[in-house]
Amino acid sequence: MAKRVAIVLAAGVSSRMNTRLAKVLHEVCGRPMLAYVFDACREVGVDKIYAVVGYGAEQVKDRFADSNDIVWVQQDEQKGTAHAVLCCRKHLKDFDGETLVLCGDGPLIRDKTLKTLIGKHEAGQSAATLATAVLDDPAGYGRIIRDTYGNIQGILEDSDCTDEQLAIKEVNPSYYLFNNKVLFEVLEKVKPDNAKKEYYLTDALSLIIATGHKVEAITAVLPEEAMGVNSRAQLSEASKIMQRRIQRQLLENGVTIVDPDNTWIDARAQIGQDTVVEPFTYIHGEVRIGRGCRIGPFAYLRSGTVLEDDVVLGVFTEVKNSVLGQGVRARHHSYIGDAAVGENVNVGAGSITANFDGEKVSRTSVGDNCYIGSGAILIAPLELKGGSHIKPGAVVSQDSIGKK
């Protein structure tokens, strides 16, 4: 297998997003866009990921502080995508292998497409291979220029196209695989002679062709994965596409989603077989739901929630950072936060954990088979023994039930 690294471009200032946050940290279904691009690189196998950062670099590095396969490369001034790749020169100039170059603002990338790209590149022994997409509305993307035989000649940015070229529907989603040495040789020759006066990575391709090396383009990218997120409108569009993918996977895993359009499930959530998710359910963050549960309608599950099998959560029930044992039922209007709830506990309508006293958050523990009557308030820190029976409307503190 060829040696392979990835360069991910994530330094750009995003004026179109109108944001103070680094663009690549904006979230799509609960995860920063950049996380999806890193994952796609890992799926196809790379030795290292060189992430080029600039605008908001510290925020970006902090967010991925746990990843040890990333080399952060600083681009102080954002002079264009070719300049961004050149910033990796000191690390990669002598690397004899394949270099995948991707943009951090393309979260919809799929590893399946990258595998097709790699397969084509290696079979064709090309100096560069890119994967293209055909879009009904190609506005804003670089257009693929081919000769009359269909051979690729280069890529032209929207702002440099003639009206005729603007009509080309085959675009550049920015998925490239290069022979590393050829890439760094031609990058030195890229000039900022375009409408935006930037150093364009797309120019590297025509330069490679001009030096007599082979460049191939394959139309392997689905329209829905071609999108680069440059605006808030595209961010919400990308989230919608990602949400559909997440739900499709869950449906295949045997989860029923009654109304997919009115359900939102985080990319990090796991849901077991034969669980039914009713409409207007919002699952956010790291949430794990077992088998045979019934969630919603109008349920809100937040980070750190673990539901064992056969749990029933009904209307306007919110759970945060809590583990609910098998068979727990909280059918109406409850809040369970920072709690460990044993098996078969009945949480009556409107009962809540009071987990925050204005200064600190405390935990509640409820043993197996407890009955919590409607409207009860469990004041944390609290430990209820298994089998406890709490009357409706009770205000329960550790003092009121005696010390542990």
Nearest CA to 155 among 88, 103, 215, 114?
Answer: 215
For 324, the enclosing helix (H) or strand (E) is strand 323-324
Confirm or reject binding of residue 301 to ligand UD1 (CB under 6 A): no
Residue 10 within binding range of ligand UD1, rule CB under 6 A? yes
Are the C-beta atoms of 321 and 353 separated by less than 8 Å?
Answer: no
- Does 171 engage in binding with ligand UD1 (CB under 6 A)? yes
Among 138, 142, 173, 228, binds Ca ion (CB under 5 A): 228
Phi, psi of 91 (to 5 degrees): -85, -30
Collect all residues with Cβ–Cβ distance below 8 Å to 319 and sequence separation of at least 6.
Answer: 299, 300, 301, 302, 305, 307, 313, 330, 335, 336, 337
Asked if residue 235 binds ligand UD1 (CB under 6 A), the reply is no
Pairwise CA distance, residues 8 & 100, whole Å? 8
Q: Give min distance, CB of 20 to ligand UD1, in A.
A: 15
Q: How many residues contact ligand UD1, by CB under 6 A? A: 29
**Tokens 């509305």 found at:** 137
Q: Which stretch binds Ca ion (CB under 5 A): 99-107, 219-227, 259-267, 355-363?
A: 99-107
Q: Which is nearer to Ca ion, 106 or 348 (CB)?
A: 106
Q: Which of 83, 332, 333, 389 is catalytic?
A: 332
Instruction: Kindly tell me which residue out of 98, 105, 157, 203 binds Ca ion, with binding defined by CB under 5 A.
Output: 105
Pick from 172, 317, 322, 365 the residue near ligand UD1 by CB under 6 A: 172
Q: How far is the CB of 1 from ligand UD1 (least distance, A)?
A: 28
Q: Which span (9-17, 56-64, 262-270, 390-398) binds ligand UD1, by CB under 6 A?
A: 9-17
Is 49 among the residues that bind ligand UD1 (CB under 6 A)? no
The strand ranges marked E within 104-207 are: 128-134, 142-146, 152-156, 170-179
User: Per residue in 287-305, is it b (16+ CB within 10 Å) or e — as a string?
Assistant: bbbbbbbbbbbbbbbbebb
CA 281 to chain centre: 20
Distance CA 95, CA 75 (A): 20
Nearest to 179 by CA among 199, 204, 154, 146: 204
Give whichever of 51 and 336 is closer to ligand UD1, judged by the CB atom.
51
Q: Kindly state whether residue 103 participates in binding ligand UD1, applying the rule CB under 6 A.
A: yes
Is 332 a residue of the active site? yes
Which chain residues interact with ligand UD1 by CB under 6 A?
9-12, 52, 75, 78-81, 83-84, 103-106, 141-142, 155, 157, 171-174, 200-202, 228, 230
Which chain residues interact with Ca ion by CB under 5 A?
105, 228, 230
Catalytic residues: 332
